């Protein structure tokens, strides 16, 4: 089937954590993958080696997703692997927590720029050829915090809630061209950030999660694998919470 052939994927922020797991899963499916990073070059190159050692194709590209020129240059570099990016995963994001009354302008702007503006710039760049070719898969990695909020994360919650609205709006704009746009909203996933939390805080968080555990990056990657395949060709504009039941507890 058309959606099952080898395609070119670009995953932002994929040198580690959830992005790395997504990149590895897409490569395992036979897709060529652009590994985007900003400051973790060694880790990005390790992901590329892991893919190429298994016979796959990948390159690492440094780009600041908040800068339009960087994004355009990254999409040009992607052409080293194929004629056009057909799968885009907007995963790059940061957390910079603070109570709102103490939050600086820079702290607000930085989180919004990377988490939301970055997705806008990359999506706009990818859509040009997706619309022309009448095929594309765009997956935005949001957060359950964008659905339910969290004290001390007004900037992060706003960026991720914005990503949900962005997903739903763009999905309606491009559906007639066979381009789907979906959003995954992870809860607490075992990444460097979660691992660095104090034990007492981890215990309190676990007490709020019905499944009583943190998620794994591979569980996010599994949903991405579904959404880029033929079986999900009728799925667009949706928000998928992978949070152990946190958002409904």
Question: pLDDT tens digits, residue range 124-142?
Answer: 999 999 999 999 999 999 9
What per-residue confidence (pLDDT) applies to 4? 58
User: Catalytic: which of 156, 188, 226, 234?
Assistant: 156
How far is residue 226 from each of residues 15, 22, 232, measured CA to CA in Å? 22, 11, 6
Specify whether 37 is catalytic. no
Query: Distance between CA atoms of 44 and 183, rounded to whole angstroms?
Result: 24
Chain-centroid distance of CA 62 in Å reads 16
Query: Which two three-digit tokens encode residue 77?
Result: 């570099």
pLDDT in tens, 188-231: 999 888 888 889 989 999 999 999 999 999 999 999 999 999 99
The model's pLDDT over 161-183, given as tens digits with 9 standing for 90+, comes to 999 999 999 999 999 999 999 99
Q: What is the CA radius of gyration of the chain?
A: 17
Give backbone dihedrals phi and psi of 205, rounded to 5 degrees, phi first.
-65, -45
| Domain architecture of the chain: domains with CATH | 2-241 (3.40.50.720)
Q: pTM of the entire structure?
A: 0.95
Question: Strand 8-11's sheet: what is its strand order?
Answer: 58-62, 32-37, 8-11, 87-90, 136-141, 179-186, 239-242
């Amino acid at each position: 089937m058309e959606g099952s052939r080898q395609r070119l994927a670009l995953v932002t922020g994929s040198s580690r954590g959830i992005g790395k797991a997504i990149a590895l899963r897409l490569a395992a499916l036979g897709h060529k993958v652009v590994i985007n990073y900003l400051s973790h070059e060694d880790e990005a190159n390790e992901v590329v080696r892991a893919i190429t050692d298994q016979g796959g194709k990948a390159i690492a590209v440094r780009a600041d997703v908040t800068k339009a020129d960087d994004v355009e240059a990254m999409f040009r570099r992607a052409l080293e692997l194929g004629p056009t990016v057909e799968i885009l995963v907007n995963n790059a994001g940061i957390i910079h927590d603070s109570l709102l009354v103490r939050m600086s302008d820079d702290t607000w702007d930085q989180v919004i720029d990377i988490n939301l503006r970055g997705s806008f710039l990359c999506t706009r760049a990818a859509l040009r050829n997706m619309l022309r070719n009448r095929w594309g898969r765009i997956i935005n990695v949001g957060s359950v915090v964008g659905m339910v909020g969290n004290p001390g994360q007004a900037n992060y919650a706003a960026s991720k809630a914005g990503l949900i609205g962005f997903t739903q709006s763009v999905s309606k704009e491009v559906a007639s061209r066979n381009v789907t746009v979906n959003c995954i909203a992870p809860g607490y996933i075992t990444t460097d950030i979660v691992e660095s939390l104090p034990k007492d805080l981890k215990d309190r968080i676990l007490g709020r999660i019905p499944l009583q555990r943190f998620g794994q990056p591979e569980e996010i990657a599994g949903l991405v694998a579904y959404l880029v395949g033929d079986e999900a060709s009728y799925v667009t504009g949706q928000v998928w919470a992978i949070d152990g039941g946190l958002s409904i507890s």
